[in-house]
Structure 1
Amino acid sequence: MSIEFRNVEESQIVMCELMLPSHSNFNGKIHGGHILSLLDQIAFACASKHSRAYCVTASVDTVDFLNPIEIGELVTMRASVNYVGNSSMVVGIRVEAEDIQTGEVKHCNSSYITMVAKDDHGNTVKVPGLILDNENEIRRFLKCLKRIKMKGHRHQEFNETDFSSKNYLDELQKYRVILP
C-alpha cells in the first residue's frame, strides 16, 4: 500500500464570473448568498480535484466579507487545498472583484471551507496527503491547524452541560439587553 501525496498547485482552481443585475440584493450590491453559492462550488471543485472523489461541504469555517461587489464587476475566486486530514480538506478561497473599465482590483472575501471526500455509498474515503512546497503553503497549513484547534475549543465551550447564564451576568451588563 503506497501513500499518495499531491502538491497544492495540482488542485488549485480559478473561477471567474461577471456580476449581473440578477445577482444583486435590494441595495444594488451583489448578494452575499450568491457569493456563498460560488464559494461552495469552487470549494467542491478544488477538494474533488485533490481527492479524486465526490466531496461534501462539512462546514463553512470562515467567511469574511471585506468589500462590497458591484454589478458589472468581474469576480475572480482562487481556491487551494490548505490542509488535509484523513478524509477532510480545508479549502482556502480568495475572492477579488475587478472593475473591468478601470482595471482596479479589490479583495472582497476570504473563506475557509471544510470538505469531506465520500465514496459512492456515502462513506468517507482517505484523501492524498499534501506536499508543501514553499513558506506560504506551510503558513496556510499551520493557520488551518490553529483554526481547527480554536474550532474544537468553541465546540467544547458551547456543548458544556453545566452552562449557566448566571455566571455571565456581569458580562451581559455591558450590552444593550434587558434581563429578567
Structure 2
Amino acid sequence: MMPAVQWLKRAACALTIAGAAAAPAEYSRPPEQTFLTFPEWYLVHSPAEYAAYLGSGAAPSGFPLFARIGQFWQGYAAMSRETAPYPFNGGYHLMIMVIGSSTTVEYGIKGLYEQIIGRLAEAVRGPGPMLPEERFAARYAQDYVDFIRVYPWYQFDFFARLNQLWQALPALARR
C-alpha cells in the first residue's frame, strides 16, 4: 500500500497537470494549497468519526480526543514538509493554524471533561442505555457534521444548541 504522503504527491501532480489544461486560471490553485487542504479536511472528517462513535452508544470517555489532536498536527507537519519546495502560502497556513488551534482547545476541553467527569459519571451510572444527555450529545455531534459538510463551521448556531440542552435536559430538575 502506498504511503499517504506519496499518494498525495502523485495526486497533486496529476491534478496540477490536468488542472492546467482543463481549468481556467481563476479556478486553479497551486500545488501547495492542494497539500494544505489535507489538515482542513481532517477537521471535517474527525467530527464525523466522533459523531458516529457517540451514536453507537459507546462510552463517550473512550473516544481518543487527545490522539485526534496529535493526528491533526502530525498531518499538518507532514503537509508543511511537502510544501517546502513551493512558495510559502502564508494565508492558508494561518487559516490552518487558527482552525487547528481552536480544534485543539475544543478537543482538549472535551477530553479533560470526559476523562474526569465523564469517567466518573460512567462509573456511577454503570452499564445500560444511553442517558438523555448522551443521546443529545450524539444528535448534536451528527447535526454539526451534517452542517459542516455544506456550510462553514462558524455559521453553526452553537448557542441555540446550548439553549436546547438546558431547556430539554434540566439535569438538576429531573433528579
Q: TM-score, normalised by structure 2?
A: 0.27
Relative contact order higher in (CA < 8 Å, ≥ 6 apart): 2
What is the TM-score normalised by the length of structure 1?
0.27
Between structures 1 and 2, the one with greater helix share:
2
